[in-house]
Amino acid sequence: MATRSPEYFTHQGYEVLETLDGDRMILSVGPHHPSTHGVLRLILELEGETVVRCTPEIGFLHTGIEKTAENLTWQQAITVIDRMDYLSPLSNNLGYVLAVEKLLGLEVPPRAVTVRLLLAELMRIASHLVWLGTTGLDLGVQSMIMYAFDLREGILDMFEEVSGARMNPSYFRVGGLAADLTPEFERMLRDWLQRFPKRYEELRALMEENPIFLDRVRGVGAISQEDAIAWGLTGPNLRATGVSYDVRKAFPYMGYETYDFEVPVGTAGDTYDRYMVRVLEMWESYKLVQQALERLPDGPWQTDDRKIVRPPKHEVRESMEQLIHHFKIVSYGFDVPAGEVYVPIESPRGEFGVYLVSNGTNKPWRVRVRPPSFYNVMAIPKMLEGNLIADLVSVVATVDPVFGEVDR
Amino acid sequence: MVADSLVAVTIRSLVLIIVLLTVFAYLMLFERKFLGWFHLRLGPNRTGPWGLAQPIADGVKMIFKEDIIPRDADRFIFKLAPVISLFVAFAAFAVIPVGPPLKIGNWTVPLSIADPNAGVLVLLAFTSLGVYGIALGGWASQSKYSLLGALRSTAQMISYELTMGMSLVGVILLAGSLRLSDIVTAQESLWFIVRQPVGFILFFISVVAEVNRVPFDLPEAETELVAGYHTEYSGMRFAMFAIAEYVNMITVSSLVTLLYLGGWRGPAFLPPVVWFLLKVSFFVFLFIWMRATLPRLRYDRLMAFGWKVMLPVAFLNLVATAAWVAFR
């Protein structure tokens, strides 16, 4: 067997393997591997089929998004921020625009706030659907991914309807939205809301009523509360251990405190709990979407601060001042007062925090994102070590990392 | 009267191989079609009407693919392994009769290559040999994924073969013969699925494990081991493993039909061969259905299930059947 020498690995910077004895085997999983959800590389030290040590390696998808954002104006940066967590771009949008608006001290009109909440929750469902589908696929339930994506397709169609883009809508803007909702959107949403509950039950039944599935996830890949907190886990992965920390409840933004929803928590912190927490969260998001749709107020969908958003076309044609605003915003953007701010939101993967520093110009001086996936990935060894190699798939799948976000 | 000369056997073998290869090709197409429908997709529909030329396209593609042999591979064994798999798959089918002997004029054409008086044993022997192809292929690839796949496969096939054999003995006791055509004849009044329901379930589960299909597809567990024992294979050698897998699927489906569902027996409005094909198709469809629906078992659970559940139950079933046969 062409094994590489331990020196090879130490040379690569892994603190592995001077101790590697004869019965153990190093298995490099990824970055190209069917179940690593992108480009995670795990270096496993195996004894038989048991994982003795696991070292995650990240960085294969580094795109320099934070630095790129610092070279774009405040409004333009949204488009690159979008591309971090490519499964829930609107959550990235949301964190960023809330942070910029906090720096600006800007209030957005209630319609914009409600639409943001509604779409962010739809995004959460879409993201969890991808997770559900890939988890099913990883465990061998091939049909799952198609069924889940079919449901997600409806959500993406709605995004396309409002913003023109399916995957990276860049729909939330500093000061409000990119455009108002269309009448067609509401019809599509109501259709989808009607379709969702039945499909949701079917998808759950396909997984949860299958003894093989339950056998594979129960008691596998558990992490204790203390470890979860120490490793900085957030989101469903943390809540599965029983810690009820959800940014939407703990530090409410956009008026989440006025909505009626639960935060599902688990007890054991194992794969099954992570699965249940996410599945139940989809239902809570469904409730939130319904509530937001009911209370969707009429009115403006962006601020009327003409220094932040472009004035409407008819005003530009009639008024010199508005023309100047228009020209200034398009060519230069707007200045943001000097200062720094950290805004966390609850993305589908956990606490998505945006830290911004402004030096008073039209571009951010520093953009730094706290991506929940990064912390979640780092806890994988904690969950995996001592388990079997077959549990690798269920652990990685239920941690639900997105590498666009981990590597940025 | 029976023209069982060497020529006749050769002709029958050639016919069988051609038929099996064609069936394999279209089975592949139907599997993809059915999976597509299960998945809310269309399945292959671009090559030819209704995708009917897809198997030809697949074949051409496989033949023209570059044949890659890993640098560190054991070249001889690496090349030998798929041949073993394929040979064993075809050879096992030789003893399977697909219908009663056909009478054309005063020629009697048996619908199997051979119908030896120990047909079941021959079948078991050949299906057991199949593990060599997988184990050697995985070992010779010099890849860790292949190695793990091969190890799993060996362990799995050996453990499930025991159960398979045990549950088979029940049928043999009832039929009083190892010859497959005698077993079919013995089911004239009542199919053995009625008299051996437990044996049937055990046998079906173990053959699923035997041919490495979902939920027992651990040797090639896609999401863990990439492709298991055939990770490093490409082109025609890979295709040989694929053909072997599908032919095995047909073989075991035929076996279940012969042993438990009365073989080619059925109401007279259809010819016996058609009944046989219908029953086999049903089981093949079952394989595809399970593939679309079920998750994969974990390796340790699979072994525990095999040794701690299946085998004891098979023993009990055997003892009960034997007692019944002895004291009835």
- The ipTM value here is 0.78
Residue A2 lies in a domain: no
Domain ranges, residue A245: 65-304+334-382
Task: Check A212 against B215: CB less than 8 A apart.
Answer: yes
What does residue A370 show for φ and ψ, rounded to 5 degrees?
-100, 100
The DSSP secondary-structure symbol of A256 reads G
Q: Identify each DSSP E strand in A273-363 by its residue range.
A: 339-347, 350-358
User: How is the beta sheet containing A41-47 ordered, strand by strand?
Assistant: A24-29, A41-47, A50-57
Q: A352, A173, A355, A124: which is closest to A251 by C-alpha? A: A352
Task: Check A142 against B39: CB less than 8 A apart.
Answer: yes
3-state secondary structure of A345: strand
Q: A116, A108, A89: which is closest to A309 by C-alpha? A: A108
Residue A238 lies in a domain: yes
Q: What is the mean pLDDT of chain A?
A: 85
Q: Measured between beta carbons, which residues in chain B are less than 8 angstroms from residue A393?
A: 223-224
pLDDT of B190 over the 50 cut: yes
Burial class (CB in 10 A: 0-12, 13-18, 19+), B109: middle
Please name the residues in contact with B15: beta carbons below 8 A apart, sequence gap of 6 or more. none
CA distance A69 to A83: 11
Paired tokens of B138: 């995985």
Residue A164 lies in a domain: yes
Does the CA dihedral A205-A208-A212-A213 come out positive or negative? Answer: positive
Greater model confidence, B9 or A150? A150
A42 CB within 8 Å of a chain B CB: no
The alpha carbon of residue A137 is apart from the nearest alpha carbon of chain B, in Å, by: 8
pLDDT digits (tens, 9 = 90+) for B113-152: 777 788 888 888 888 888 888 888 888 888 888 888 888 8
CA dihedral A309, A313, A316, A322 (to 10 degrees): -20
Q: What is the mean pLDDT of chain B?
A: 82
B294 CB within 8 Å of a chain A CB: yes
Residue A32 lies in a domain: no
Contact A101, A174 (CB under 8 A): yes
Q: Using 50, 70 and 90 to split pLDDT, how confident is the model at B1? A: very low
Q: Which element (helix H / strand E) includes A247?
A: helix A247-250
Q: Using 50, 70 and 90 to split pLDDT, how confident is the model at A127? A: very high
pLDDT digits (tens, 9 = 90+) for A87-107: 888 888 899 999 999 998 888
Task: Check A1 against B142: CB less than 8 A apart.
Answer: yes
Identity of the residue numbered A171: Y
What does residue A51 show for φ and ψ, rounded to 5 degrees?
-85, 115
Residue A48 lies in a domain: no
Q: Measured between beta carbons, which residues in chain B are less than 8 angstroms from residue A140?
A: 214-215, 217, 221, 223, 294-296
Residue A322 lies in a domain: no
Q: Using 50, 70 and 90 to split pLDDT, how confident is the model at A11? A: very low
Number of domains in chain A: 1
Residue A54 lies in a domain: no
Contact A92, A345 (CB under 8 A): no
Choose, out of B37, B144, B148, B156, the residue to mutate when testing the contact with A (most A CBs < 10 Å): B144
What does residue B105 show for φ and ψ, rounded to 5 degrees?
60, -125
CATH number of A189's domain: 1.10.645.10
pLDDT of A369 over the 80 cut: yes
Greater model confidence, A204 or B108? A204
Amino acid A286: pLDDT? 92
Contact A191, A165 (CB under 8 A): no
The alpha carbon of residue B142 is apart from the nearest alpha carbon of chain A, in Å, by: 6
pLDDT of B19 over the 60 cut: yes
Paired tokens of A119: 């779409």
pLDDT of A388 over the 80 cut: yes
Q: Measured between beta carbons, which residues in chain A are less than 8 angstroms from residue B150?
A: none
Contact B237, B319 (CB under 8 A): no
CA distance A201 to A360: 51
pLDDT of A48 over the 80 cut: no
Residue A247 lies in a domain: yes
Q: Which residue of B has its CA nearest to A136?
A: B295
Paired tokens of A389: 């190699």
